[in-house]
Chain A
Amino acid sequence: MSVFDVQGLGVAYGSFTAVKDISLEIPRNKVTALIGPSGCGKSTVLRCLNRMNDLMDATVSGKIIYNGEDIYGPEVDAAEVRRRIGMVFQRPNPFPKSIYENVAFGPRLNGFKGDLDQLVEESLRSVALWDEVKDKLDDPGTALSGGQQQRLCIARAIAVQPDVLLMDEPCSALDPIATLKIEDLIRQLESSYSIVIVTHNMQQAARVSEMTAFFSVDIDDEHGMRTGALVEYDTTEKIFNNPGNTRTEDYISGRFG
Chain B
Amino acid sequence: MSATLSRQRKRIADPAFRWFVTLAGASVFVILAGMVIRTTNDAWPIFQYQGFFSFLTGDQWLAGSSRTDSDFTGTYGAWPFIYGTLVTALIAIVIALPLALCVAFYINQLAPKRLRNPLSYSVEMLAAVPSIIFGMWGFFWLLPNVLRPFLEWLESTFGWINLAGWKPFEGPVFGSSYLAAGIVLAIMILPIITAIVREVIAVNPVDQQHAAYALGATRFEVMRKVVLPSSFSGIVAASMLGLGRAVGETVAVMMLIGSTKSWDGSLLSAGDSMAAHIAARFGEATPETTKALMAIGVVLFLFTMIINIGARLLVWRIGRVSGDAAV
Q: Do A and B come from one complex?
A: yes
CB distance A86 to B323 under 8 Å? no
Judging by beta carbons under 8 Å apart, are B226 and A156 in contact?
Answer: no
Q: Given A93-B208, A95-B208, A55 and B215 touching (CB < 8 A)?
A: no
**Do B323 and A95 touch across chains, with their CB atoms under 8 A apart?**
yes
User: Does B214 lie within 8 Å of A86, measured CB to CB?
Assistant: yes
Question: What A residues does B113 contact at CB under 8 A?
Answer: 57
A103 → B minimal CB distance (Å):
11
B212 partner residues in chain A, CB cutoff 8 A:
95, 105, 109
Question: Are A160 and B226 in touch, CB under 8 angstroms?
Answer: no
Closest beta carbon of chain B to A172's beta carbon, Å: 14
In the complex, are the beta carbons of B210 and A89 less than 8 A apart? yes
CB pair A96 B230 closer than 8 Å? yes
A80 lies within 8 A of B323 (CB)? no
Check A109–B323 contact: CB distance below 8 A: no
Most B Cβ at <10 Å: residue of A83, A97, A156: A97
Interface of B (DSSP majority class): helix
Per the CB 8 Å criterion, the residue count for chain B at the interface is 20
Q: Is A27 an interface residue (CB 8 A)?
A: no
**Of the residues A57, A94, A98, A106, contact of B215 by C-beta under 8 Å:** A106
B288 within 8 Å of A by Cβ?
no
Q: In the complex, which of the residues A83, A87, A109, A157 has the most CB atoms of chain B within 10 Å of its own CB atom?
A: A109
The segment from B7-15, B216-224, B273-281, B308-316 that touches chain A is B216-224
Contact A83 B207, beta carbon cutoff 8 Å: no
Q: How many angstroms between the C-alpha atoms of A34 and B205 in the bound complex?
A: 27
Q: For residue A89, which residues in chain B have a CB less than 8 angstroms away from its CB?
A: 207, 210-211, 214
Closest residue of B by beta carbon distance from A98: B323
Q: With A79-B216, A156-B215, A157-B215 given, is the CB distance from A55 to B323 under 8 Å? A: no
Residue numbers in B under 8 Å from A98 (CB-CB): 323
Q: Do A109 and B208 form a contact, CB below 8 Å, given A95-B226, A95-B323, A140-B323?
A: no
B28-81 residues at the A interface, CB under 8 angstroms: none
A91 part of interface (Cβ distance < 8 Å)? yes
Q: Is there an interface contact between B210 and A106, defined as CB atoms closer than 8 Å?
A: no
Q: In the complex, A126→B5 CA distance in Å?
A: 56
Tell whether, in the assembled complex, residue A79 and residue B218 are in contact, meaning their CB atoms are under 8 Å apart: yes
- Chain B, 220-234, contact with A by CB distance < 8 Å: what is the 0/1 string? 010001100010000
Cβ of A44 within 8 Å of any chain B Cβ, yes or no, is no
Interface size of A as a range = 20 to 34
Docked CA distance A93–B205 (Å): 9
Given contacts A79-B216, A82-B216, A83-B216, contact A95 B221 (CB under 8 A): no
Contact among A80, A87, A93, A96 for B325, CB-based, below 8 A = A96
Q: Is the beta-carbon distance between B207 and A91 smaller than 8 angstroms?
A: yes
Residues of B contacting A160 in the complex (Cβ-Cβ under 8 angstroms): 215-216
Bound CA–CA A70/B324 (angstroms): 39
Interface centre among A86, A96, A101, A106, by most B CB within 10 Å? A96
B160 neighbours in A (Cβ, 8 Å): none
**Complex contacts, B230 vs chain A, CB 8 Å:** 96
The chain A residue with its CB closest to the CB of B322 is: A97
Contact check, B323 vs A97: say whether CB atoms are below 8 A apart.
Answer: yes
Smallest CB–CB gap between B250 and chain A, Å?
40
- CA gap between A207 and B31 in the complex, in Å: 69
Docked complex Cα distance between A68 and B226 (Å): 33
Kindly state whether residue B121 has any CB partner on chain A within 8 Å: no
Which of A50, A93, A97 is within 8 Å of B207, CB to CB?
A93
Bound CA–CA A55/B222 (angstroms)? 12
Binary interface profile of A, 220-257, with partner B (CB < 8 Å = 1, else 0)? 00000000000000000000000000000000000000
What are the residues of chain A within 8 A of B226 when measuring CB–CB?
95
User: Which positions in A face B, CB cutoff 8 Å?
Assistant: 50, 52, 55, 57, 79-80, 82-84, 86-87, 89, 91, 93-98, 101, 105-106, 109-110, 140, 153, 156-157, 160
Given A93-B205, A106-B216, output 16 extra A-B contacts at Cβ < 8 Å: A55-B210, A55-B213, A86-B214, A87-B210, A87-B214, A89-B207, A89-B210, A93-B210, A95-B211, A96-B208, A105-B212, A105-B225, A109-B215, A109-B217, A156-B215, A160-B215
Residues of B within 8 A of A (CB): 113, 205, 207-208, 210-218, 221, 225-226, 230, 323-325
What would 28 A/B residue contacts be, using CB atoms closer than 8 Å?
A: A52-B210, A55-B213, A57-B113, A79-B217, A80-B216, A82-B213, A82-B216, A84-B216, A86-B214, A86-B215, A87-B214, A93-B208, A93-B211, A95-B226, A95-B323, A96-B323, A96-B324, A97-B323, A98-B323, A101-B323, A105-B212, A109-B212, A109-B215, A109-B216, A110-B216, A156-B211, A156-B215, A160-B216
